[in-house]
Amino acid sequence: MCVGQLGSLLPHVVVPSILAAFLIPEWHLSGAQAGLLAGSGAAGYMLAVPVLATLTDRIDARKILIAGSALSALGTLLFGLFASGLWSGALLNALAGVGFAGAYMPGLKALTDRLASGDSSRAVTLYTSSFSFGVGLSFLVSQLVADSLGWRSAFFVTALGPIVMLAVCLLLRPVAPKPAPGRLLDFAPVFRNTRAMGFVLGYGAHCFELYGIRTWVVAFWTFVAMKNSDTSLLTPIVVSVIFSLLAMPASILGNEFALRVGRHRAITIVMFASAIVALLIGVFADKSPWFLLPLLLAYAITVPADSGALTSGMSMAAHPDYRGATLAAHSTVGFSLSALGAWGVGVALDLAGGPSSANAWMAAFSVLAAGILLGPVALYWSRRVSPQS
């Protein structure tokens, strides 16, 4: 499943990867428009995942996974063929996002349905942390292909990735879930589960920060490289790939940290640390790349370090009869705030002078810091309402 997810994720950040070098100048996009384009995939995901993830409580998640993977490949291919501006690009990117909604959380449900109960925490963390490895691969392949063959070719090549997940699905044994009680989109039992909702809302804050920086990390390092001459080894491709690859061990270690000191405490510590690092990057945005690189690498660790703990915490807190619905709420909140994070950083850049201004990057990283600090608030609320958590 982790290997299949790498394939599913190959198209995942192709738009953010080529945004600064190709789409912004060719389509004359503002920061807000670029953020809207990048966030449209998350918006499509958000609209589809409540139905698709909740359906996994009623039918084998493998069936949804097959359909979602096929649609993800199709949407990516159509973007490469037909996208010609903001709105056509946003529509086709949203279509690919709908496909990914049938791949990511249904993939997690397909995995957990086939595991013994005691295997879930580390297995879920490995699955969610491999997400970051797949994103790093997406950054690498997208930028290399775009630089060599043109940006449309990046979509043609990455559209092949979801076919890997289709092959994996053929190896999964069929599983028929126990019929869930209630209506298909009845989220009332999920919302009443305050233990799970604390993790869901915390995941939303995490996704705001994560997708905000993933959308704009290439543009930020392009700004750093333009202001300095000593970046021959630190190209945007290298930095964005390293940033993403660090997320996998960070997420695994973050979950291990949570198992030892408690999930709420560990996640809160990580989120506060991430906000501090974001503000430091913003303050020193115009400094040497060799000064900024350690800060950015530290950020590459703090941003995803709470991911596995949040998702495994949600999965274990979910009622077994409503695990698919809880996954749906988790993803809907997360990817709603992902789209908002990509757009919000773009708006901050526009308002503070554009991506060529150090003050604008200070504003952008301040927005990211403010977003992640909402996570500890959600966890504190959850603990007050449900002391046993």
- pLDDT tens-digit profile of 188-223? 888 899 999 999 999 999 999 999 999 999 999 999
pLDDT of residue 256: 85
pLDDT of residue 365: 98
pLDDT of residue 306: 92
Q: What letter would DSSP give residue 23? A: I
pLDDT of residue 176: 74
Query: What are the tokens at 62?
Result: 């493998």
Q: Identify the band that residue 120 occupies on the pLDDT scale cut at 50, 70 and 90.
A: low
pLDDT of residue 83: 97
- pLDDT tens-digit profile of 137-167? 999 999 999 999 999 999 999 999 999 999 9
- Taking the CA atoms of the chain, what radius of gyration do you get in angstroms? 20
Mean pLDDT computed over every residue of the chain: 90
pLDDT of residue 181: 62
- pLDDT tens-digit profile of 349-363? 999 999 999 999 999
The owner of tokens 């503070």 is 352
pTM: 0.85
Q: Are 292 and 281 in contact (CB under 8 A)?
A: yes
Looking at the predicted structure, is the pLDDT value of residue 118 above 90?
no
Looking at the predicted structure, is the pLDDT value of residue 279 above 70?
yes
pLDDT of residue 179: 65
Annotate 243-288 with DSSP letters as a single string. HHHTHHHHHHHHHHHHHHH-HHHHHHHHHHHHHHHHHHHHHTTTS-
Cα separation of 10 and 69, whole Å? 11
Residues 6+ apart with CB under 8 A from 171: none
pLDDT of residue 114: 80
**Residue of 312, 279, 100 lying closest to 202 (CA atoms):** 312
- Mean pLDDT for 292-316 is 91
Q: Are 219 and 237 in contact (CB under 8 A)?
A: no
pLDDT of residue 230: 66
pLDDT of residue 8: 94
pLDDT of residue 389: 44
Look at the alpha carbons of 213, 145, 31, 342 in this order and tell me if their dihedral is positive or negative. Answer: negative
Q: Identify the band that residue 111 occupies on the pLDDT scale cut at 50, 70 and 90.
A: confident
- pLDDT tens-digit profile of 377-389? 999 998 887 654 4
pLDDT of residue 16: 93
Domains of the chain (ranges; CATH) run 2-172+190-385 (1.20.1250.20)
For residues 264 and 320, which has the higher predicted lDDT (pLDDT)?
264
Weakest mean pLDDT among 12-16, 29-33, 52-56, 260-264: 52-56
Q: Identify the band that residue 95 occupies on the pLDDT scale cut at 50, 70 and 90.
A: very high
